[in-house]
């Protein structure tokens, strides 16, 4: 009979921790938030060797010093939740940097297993490890793994099970006579004042107190202990000429260096790795940016070209469903239930689901670029430009995440150390076109532009969004958020061959969220919008009018039509009429709804990218200039209500959230106004 135990996965960013988590749990994953914070929490279940293992994926972090939210959450989970074992995933190609976290985990006195990941990559660089000797020196089990291939995972789980059962004690790091004397005095004081604290935790607490750890200082409120800590800090600085924080860090790195000297051997002279050779081209000062833009163009070409056949299949399926439901009523029936089902539910949800192939292809391409290590290079390429606007390349990573969805992109700003940088980045992230806007582009571009121009137009729209984000960030940094840019080291992980399993999980996580949104939020909005475009009903219609004019008169009488007419004087300078204004009502809740709502407005049933009647209506009523202006307005304006809500949560201020909403709306209006008026003056709007 197996047992259940909790395994926490820790590790540096880019160490391959997420790949191992996916290998362990597959689809049996749950995503939530850690209590009291907005940081994402991933958990999963793994059944191996007869045991049921609850795997908790801790936030990626370089240390446990509790300076960042990730560090605090990881540390508090280990201390308070007391997992049975902590598996630290170590990137062996960057061993000394990664072992710093391992040493801090060892100091906590918890059962630790080190998964020496990417061991194949380290070997290709000419590094050899005496794993047994290193394990003895550190007092913890060490298991070589290759997460992307699933190698060593079973051995890692077996070592974790054994470590959890035997509660092995890691080696104790010694910090030299003077520092050890201070630690001993503080431990003695803690033992007198807080005898219930376990002995390993007393030593760890003493070290943290000497390091001026704010959270530990807040928990140890005894005046005598605090006075002793201040006295020892002063003594150490006077005797050793450095702060206790630096002395402790030096001690840890000294321990790591000693272990590596004993157990790591290089079999070749220093040479360029494959990653280095690729980087000579990919992040070249001249070629780097064109390569990045070219890859983005390739992504959009893939999204449009490969996605077309499955879109047609989905469109046909919803067309068949609509016809089947319609046959349940007599021909020409004016049943409100029929209208709700066909024009509201099927047209609304179907008009959004038809774009699922585009969304999945976009997320597939992003997952490949991310898992291969290229996205980190994209941030490095943009670092030079970002510095000129008062940010750094690290701020570009949330912007790239925004290609999928603005919500996780805004949440990704937590990795930025400076609040000025975080606020600046989260305010401009929505300008990077998210996946929710793709259905709008996929409707408008084929309606007004020939086949040869479709991929270039999509590429241009995305580039405009990124350029506007950079310009707005510069404006914010020289006005509201003036100050020095916080320096940081740009870490470039080695290139890896993405695994099919990893790509599938990343793609389906995001695609699944899109499907869930279509089945809940968008379904509800479609029903509401159907009601707005149906009531109040016009009883008497001028029979002499054409069918199209009658439909327009009926729609104008409804609540949505009246709102659209009320908006028309405001949006007319942008080239928009009341129909576009009516369709824009639902776009504030979710951008995807714009397409379905436009179809309802024009009374053409299923409104999707392949809906030729809708395309013909658009071509007959508007010019390519108006089509471009629709895309610009939808690109720049706030993506959805959820984005505003997450900005409020991450900034902890309704003021910044409303500033984002008002600022993006105003910017969208001004840019669209300039483009339409200038284009009309040049004769493009004719």
Residue that is last in its domain, among 266, 286, 317 = 266
Highest mean pLDDT among 70-74, 416-420, 468-472, 490-494: 468-472
pLDDT value at position 649?
A: 79
If 0-12 CB within 10 Å is exposed, 13-18 middle and 19+ buried, where does residue 268 land?
A: exposed
pLDDT value at position 632?
A: 96
Q: In which residue are the tokens 């362990």 written? A: 24
Assess if residue 31 is contained within a domain. Answer: yes
pLDDT value at position 345?
A: 79
Q: Are 594 and 583 in contact (CB under 8 A)?
A: yes
Q: What does the block give as tokens for 69?
A: 């939210």
The domain that holds 241 is classified in CATH as: 1.10.287.1770
Q: Please compute the mean of the pLDDT values over residues 157-173 and round it to a whole number.
A: 84
pLDDT value at position 605?
A: 40
Instruction: Verify that 382 and 407 share a domain, yes or no.
Output: yes
Q: Are 525 and 519 in contact (CB under 8 A)?
A: no
Assess if residue 518 is contained within a domain. Answer: no
pLDDT value at position 237?
A: 85
Q: How far is CA 426 from the centre of its chain?
A: 12
Range of the domain at 380: 368-511+646-686
Assess if residue 569 is contained within a domain. Answer: no
Tens-digit pLDDT profile for residues 387-403: 777 776 667 777 776 77
d(Cα 378, Cα 369) in Å, to the nearest integer?
Answer: 10
Residue that is last in its domain, among 232, 266, 300 = 266
Assess if residue 568 is contained within a domain. Answer: no
The domain that holds 12 is classified in CATH as: 3.40.50.300
Long-range contacts of 134-139 (CB under 8 A, 24+ apart): 134/259, 134/262, 134/263, 134/264, 137/171, 137/259, 137/262, 137/263, 138/102, 138/106, 138/114, 138/170, 138/171, 138/259, 139/106, 139/168, 139/169, 139/170, 139/171
Going by C-alpha positions, the residue among 385, 364, 243 that lies closest to residue 310 is 364
Tens-digit pLDDT profile for residues 323-343: 898 888 887 777 888 888 887
Q: What does the block give as tokens for 193?
A: 């004042």
Kindly report whether the peptide bond that precedes residue 612 is cis, defined as omega within 30 degrees of 0.
no
Assess if residue 557 is contained within a domain. Answer: no
Going by C-alpha positions, the residue among 161, 61, 53 that lies closest to residue 102 is 61
Q: Please compute the mean of the pLDDT values over residues 606-621 and round it to a whole number.
A: 64
Instruction: Verify that 149 and 181 share a domain, yes or no.
Output: no
**Helical (H) or strand (E) element with 565:** helix 559-571
Instruction: Verify that 23 and 123 share a domain, yes or no.
Output: yes
Instruction: Verify that 9 and 155 share a domain, yes or no.
Output: yes
Residue count of the chain, please give it: 686
Rounded-to-10 torsion of CA 356, 358, 360, 363? -140
Going by C-alpha positions, the residue among 674, 586, 592, 598 that lies closest to residue 632 is 674
Q: Please compute the mean of the pLDDT values over residues 291-297 and round it to a whole number.
A: 84
Instruction: Verify that 202 and 87 share a domain, yes or no.
Output: no
Residue that is last in its domain, among 266, 291, 316 = 266
pLDDT value at position 484?
A: 61
Q: Residue 607: which pLDDT band, with cuts at 50, 70 and 90?
A: very low
Tens-digit pLDDT profile for residues 531-540: 887 788 777 7
Assess if residue 184 is contained within a domain. Answer: yes
Instruction: Verify that 117 and 43 share a domain, yes or no.
Output: yes
Q: Are 682 and 625 in contact (CB under 8 A)?
A: no
Q: What does the block give as tokens for 151?
A: 């190698």
User: What value, to the nearest 5°, has the Cα angle with vertex 595 and ends 589 and 597?
Assistant: 70
pLDDT value at position 606?
A: 40
Instruction: Verify that 18 and 121 share a domain, yes or no.
Output: yes
pLDDT above 80 (res 572): yes
Instruction: Verify that 36 and 135 share a domain, yes or no.
Output: yes
Instruction: Verify that 20 and 159 share a domain, yes or no.
Output: yes
Instruction: Verify that 118 and 12 share a domain, yes or no.
Output: yes
pLDDT above 80 (res 586): no
Assess if residue 591 is contained within a domain. Answer: no
d(Cα 658, Cα 241) in Å, to the nearest integer?
Answer: 50
Instruction: Verify that 416 and 391 share a domain, yes or no.
Output: yes
User: What value, to the nearest 5°, has the Cα angle with vertex 165 and ends 160 and 170?
Assistant: 65
Q: Are 220 and 205 in contact (CB under 8 A)?
A: yes
Assess if residue 153 is contained within a domain. Answer: yes
Q: Residue 304: which pLDDT band, with cuts at 50, 70 and 90?
A: low
Q: Residue 142: which pLDDT band, with cuts at 50, 70 and 90?
A: very high
**Helical (H) or strand (E) element with 387:** helix 374-388
Q: Residue 609: which pLDDT band, with cuts at 50, 70 and 90?
A: very low
**Helical (H) or strand (E) element with 177:** helix 177-193
Instruction: Verify that 31 and 159 share a domain, yes or no.
Output: yes
Tens-digit pLDDT profile for residues 368-390: 887 787 877 877 787 767 777 77
Does 546 or 611 have the greater pLDDT score?
Answer: 546
Tens-digit pLDDT profile for residues 625-652: 999 999 999 999 987 777 887 888 788 8
User: What is the residue-averaged pLDDT of the chain?
Assistant: 81
Q: What is the pTM of this model?
A: 0.58
pLDDT above 70 (res 86): yes
From 80-84, 562-566, 581-585, the region with the lowest mean pLDDT: 581-585
Rounded-to-10 torsion of CA 182, 186, 187, 192? 150
- State how many domains the chain has: 3
Q: In which residue are the tokens 């490969």 written? A: 306
Q: In which residue are the tokens 């996780």 written? A: 408
């Amino acid at each position: 009979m197996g047992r259940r135990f909790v395994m926490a996965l820790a590790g540096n960013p880019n160490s391959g921790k997420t790949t191992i988590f996916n290998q362990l749990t597959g689809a049996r994953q749950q995503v939530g938030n850690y209590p009291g914070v907005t940081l994402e929490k991933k958990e999963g279940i793994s059944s191996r060797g007869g045991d049921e293992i609850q795997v908790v994926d801790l936030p990626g972090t370089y240390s446990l010093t509790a300076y960042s939210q990730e560090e605090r959450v990881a540390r508090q989970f280990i201390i308070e939740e007391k997992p049975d074992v902590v598996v630290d995933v170590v990137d062996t190609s960057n061993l000394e940097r990664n072992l710093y976290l391992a040493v801090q985990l060892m100091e906590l006195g918890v059962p630790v297993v080190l998964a020496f990941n990417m061991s194949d990559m380290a070997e290709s660089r000419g590094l050899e490890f005496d794993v047994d000797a290193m394990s003895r020196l550190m007092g913890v089990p060490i298991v070589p793994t290759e997460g992307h291939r699933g190698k060593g995972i079973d051995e890692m789980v077996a070592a974790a099970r054994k470590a959890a059962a035997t509660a092995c004690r890691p080696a104790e790091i010694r910090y030299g006579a003077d520092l050890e004397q201070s630690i001993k005095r503080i431990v003695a004081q803690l033992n007198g004042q807080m005898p219930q604290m376990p002995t390993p935790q007393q030593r760890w607490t003493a070290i943290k107190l000497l390091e001026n750890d704010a959270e530990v200082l807040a928990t140890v409120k005894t005046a005598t202990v605090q006075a002793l800590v201040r006295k020892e800090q002063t003594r150490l600085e006077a005797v050793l000429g450095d702060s206790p924080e630096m002395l402790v860090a030096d001690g840890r790195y000294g321990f790591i260096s000693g272990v590596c000297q004993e157990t790591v051997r290089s079999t070749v002279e220093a040479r360029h790795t494959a990653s280095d050779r690729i980087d000579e081209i990919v992040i070249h000062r001249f070629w780097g940016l064109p390569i990045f833009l070219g890859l983005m163009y390739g992504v959009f070409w893939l999204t449009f070209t490969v996605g077309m056949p499955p879109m047609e299949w989905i469109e046909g399926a919803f067309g068949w469903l609509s016809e089947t439901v319609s046959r349940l009523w007599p021909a020409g029936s004016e049943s409100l239930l029929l209208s709700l089902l066909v024009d509201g539910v099927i047209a609304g949800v179907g008009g959004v689901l038809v774009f699922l192939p585009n969304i999945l292809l976009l997320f597939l391409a992003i997952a490949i670029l991310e898992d291969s290590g290229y996205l980190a290079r994209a941030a490095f390429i943009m670092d030079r430009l970002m510095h000129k606007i008062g940010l750094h390349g690290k701020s570009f990573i949330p912007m790239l995440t925004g290609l999928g969805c603005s919500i996780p992109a805004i949440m990704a700003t937590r990795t930025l150390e400076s609040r000025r940088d975080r606020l600046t980045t989260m305010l401009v992230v929505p300008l990077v076109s998210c996946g929710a806007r793709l259905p709008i582009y996929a409707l408008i571009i084929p309606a007004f532009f020939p086949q040869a121009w479709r991929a270039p137009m999509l590429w241009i729209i995305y580039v405009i969004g990124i350029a506007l984000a950079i310009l707005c960030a510069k404006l914010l940094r020289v006005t509201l958020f003036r100050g020095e840019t916080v320096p940081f080291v740009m870490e470039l992980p080695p290139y890896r061959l993405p695994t099919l399993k990893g790509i599938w999980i990343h793609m389906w996580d995001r695609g699944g969220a899109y499907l869930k949104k279509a089945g809940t939020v968008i379904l509800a909005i479609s029903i509401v919008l159907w009601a707005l475009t149906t009531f109040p009903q016009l009883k008497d219609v001028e029979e002499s009018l054409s069918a199209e004019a009658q439909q327009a008169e009926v729609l104008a009488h409804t609540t949505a039509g009246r709102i659209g007419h009320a908006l028309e004087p405001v949006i007319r300078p942008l080239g928009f009429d009341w129909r576009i204004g009516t369709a824009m009502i639902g776009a504030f809740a979710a951008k995807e709804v714009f397409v379905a709502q436009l179809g309802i407005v024009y009374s053409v049933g299923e409104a999707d990218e392949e809906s030729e009647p809708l395309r013909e209506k658009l071509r007959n009523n508007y010019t390519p200039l108006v089509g471009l202006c629709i895309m610009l307005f939808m690109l720049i304006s706030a993506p959805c209500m959820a984005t505003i809500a997450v900005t409020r949560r991450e900034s902890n201020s309704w003021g910044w959230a409303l500033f984002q909403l008002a600022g993006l709306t105003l910017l969208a209006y001004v840019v669209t106004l300039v483009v339409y008026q200038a284009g009309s003056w040049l004769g493009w709007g004719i």
